[in-house]
Structure 1
Amino acid sequence: MLCRVEAFNVELCPVLRLGAITTAINLAIALVVKYHKLDW
């Protein structure tokens, strides 16, 4: 059971990391767009 959970976590980790990176990039883009709109 534990081995299965660990294997599952190993498979899941890159996905979660990718999700976190994607979220961070989306937030950064949203902030840039927001500030550019304020500048205009």
Structure 2
Amino acid sequence: MKVTLITGASGGIGEVFARRLAEEKHNLVLVARSEDKLSEL
């Protein structure tokens, strides 16, 4: 099982990558400074 770590996942290019990979059913670990924004994903 592969896991992808994305930093800066609450905005910008990190958010775009997180959303796109989630749509493709990848296993993700998301890291962000803003817990509130991250929980919206």
TM-score (normalizing by structure 2): 0.34
Between structures 1 and 2, the one with greater strand share:
2
Larger radius of gyration: 1
**Bigger relative contact order (CA 8 A; separation at least 6):** 2
TM-score (normalizing by structure 1): 0.35
